Every structure is written in structure tokens, then in C-alpha cells.
Structure 1
């Protein structure tokens, strides 16, 4: 049985997720933020994250509306903190995303409009598959990853936890990208990228 949802955050990423939830006819209690702000969907401001002391994890579910731009630390920390308190994060998938029935989506995964997730792909916890991204067959994507708009991952690509794959970049088949790495916008990755690396260009080179 679906529970009412609280959205963490009130920026652009939160707006995209709000629309997905409205498409799904989910009940949204409101949003949290450091201070009250205008909400374009008319959602109620519930307060700061301290409000979770008032809500039972058995009575509500959460959607993490904070995006990432090359750094997933805040998003990851908040996810882990609230998970440790017993809260559950909703999988948000836009109705116009195409997701194989054999793909695996872990808790808190967010898949935006026009994204394609092909057979036997695995998507880790709290990972964003952004607008129009293509995740081909047998890809394995870690937790707290951001696959930015327009990215193409060919078959059997592996992406480590907490990495950011920049807008319109492409990764050829069988490539591995380590944890905490950043692939720049428009890059073409044709060789493996290590952990804690930054890679830019065509072909992508570590810098």
C-alpha cells in the first residue's frame, strides 16, 4: 500500500520528481528545505529535515529531491542518515521512460522522462538516470551515481559508486569507471577510468 510522500528539497531536481509523482497519482505531504520557498506545484512547506522527528518511518515514504553536479556527498549522506532511522525511499520512474522487466532498480532510484534501461541492467541505490539517458543491456551502475541527460552507456558498462557521468557523454561497451569519478560533458570513453579520477575529451583522458 502506497504511503504519503515527503520530498526533500525544492529546487529544479525536486520539481522534476514532483511531476513524476503527480503522474503516478501519489499523495505528497509537502517538501523540506532549510527555509520556506515558493513551490511551483503549491506543495506545503513542512520545515527543515528536523521534521522527521515528528513522522514515523512506518507512515511516510521519502523522495530525495537534491540533485548532484559532480559531487554526490550531500545526497549520499542524507540518504544514509534517513535510512539508518528506518525511512524508505521511493523508486521514481517517469511513465515515459522505458525500463526492461529484467532490469534491477534498487531503493531510491530515479529515472527521468525518455530514459531507456535495457535488459539485465542493474541500478544501485539512490542513483539518478536523467532525461534521455540510455543504459544498455547488462550494465552495472553503483549507488549514489548520477547519469546526466543524454548519456549513452553501451552494453556491459560498469560504473562505480558516487560517480558522475556528464551530459551527452558516451561510454563504449565493456568499459569500467571507478568509484568517485567524474566524466566530463560530451566525453567519449573508450578505455577504463580508475577510482577518484576525472576524464575529459574525445577520446576521454584522465586529467
Structure 2
């Protein structure tokens, strides 16, 4: 992976996790671009802060890489929009792979991918550009993930699962082997998916009734 300095886009919880990983790897963080930085997030101390999107133009496209640190939620397009806006300006996005992640040598990882703490990716898998494999998620053998997927903490994709672009898999969800998910499909937190999902389809588990 490239060792160019990075600029972080965003300052929320997802950003704090990425900055923590990068600091442990002694990666140079040039700046954070965010409208504001929460004062309680001590992990950002010592990093220069810029509050306007246009401030990215202070940095030469050949001298830095960006990290999209905006989190994701079902139906949200903010993360993808930010990526596309900065790509249009000529900037590139770095991949981030936590040292504690277990990633087979036989995995195809495209640009701008984020693989977080204790995630596992097994042989034959392909991770599409700008996708996030969150904390302790498991991507089993021969899975093929499209671009801009967000696999939340603890989710499990069993062998040979295939996803289209912009798929969201919630925390703790399980997808059994050989399932296909279309573009914009959503699997809610805690769901067990046993059938294919077409484009824009959603699967949620039964709701808890709290009295």
C-alpha cells in the first residue's frame, strides 16, 4: 500500500476508529476536514483541522491520499457522494487495513477499502472499491463484494456470497452460503438471510417488543 500522508474526511465515531488504526501504524495524518471536531474525541488531538470542504485544495493531489471517514447507515448516500466529489477533483483514496485484521494473501482488494480491527477475509474473496469491512466482520472464501459496500461490525458472509454496489449489511447479520444481493440491498442488524435479495430489497429480523 502507498505510504503517502493522508487527509481524513470526517470526525465522527468511524473517523476515530480509522485514526486510531493509522496512528498505531505510524501513518502520517496531515489534517482532518470536518465542519467541527467533537472536543471529547481525544484521538484527534494534535491533528490540524480544516472546516471547509474546499480546504482540500490546499493539498496537492500527488502529495496526499484521502480517507473517507464518514460512517454509513441504510439508505444514506452521503459517504458515496463525498467519495465521488473528491475523485472528481483528482484525489485518490487510501485503503486502511488494521494490523489485527486477518486477510488471506489470496484476496483481491480494490482501492479505498477499509478493513477494521479483527475483521477476517478468507481466500478467493474480492472486496470492491470504497467498501468497509467493519470490526470483527467475517468475509468467507470466494465472496465477491461490489463497490461501496458497508459490512457492519460482527456481520458474517458465508462462502460464495455475492453483492452488488451500495449494499449494507447490519451488525451481527448472517448471510448463508451462495446468496446473491442486488444493488442497494439492505440486510438489517441481527438478520439471518437465507434467500437472494434483488436490487433495493431489504431483509430485517423480527422486531423486539419492549414493554
TM-score by length of 1: 0.93
Deviation at 1:78, TM superposition (A): 1.0
CA contact (8 A) 2:140 2:158 kept: yes
CA contact (8 A) 1:35 1:48 kept: no
Aligned to 1:63, the other structure's residue is in SS state strand
Deviation at 1:53, TM superposition (A): 1.9
Give the Cα–Cα distance (whole angstroms) in 2 for the partners of residues 178 and 164 of structure 1: 11
Summarize deviations over 1:89-133 as a string: whole Å, max 9, x none.
Answer: 111011000001110111110011111000010001111100110
Match of 2:82 in 1: 78
> Are 1:181 and 2:182 an aligned pair?
no
> Are 1:141 and 2:129 an aligned pair?
no
CA contact (8 A) 2:130 2:149 kept: yes
Superposition RMSD on alpha carbons, in Å? 1.3
Instruction: State the number of aligned residues.
Output: 202
Match of 1:205 in 2: none
Deviation at 1:84, TM superposition (A): 2.0
> Are 1:62 and 2:66 an aligned pair?
yes
Summarize deviations over 1:68-96 as a string: whole Å, max 9, x none.
Answer: 01134111111112112221111101100
Match of 2:30 in 1: 29
Match of 2:204 in 1: 200
Match of 1:161 in 2: 165
Q: Which runs of 4+ in 1 moved over 3 A?
A: none
TM-score by length of 2: 0.92
Summarize deviations over 1:121-161 as a string: whole Å, max 9, x none.
Answer: 00011111001100001100111111011111111101111
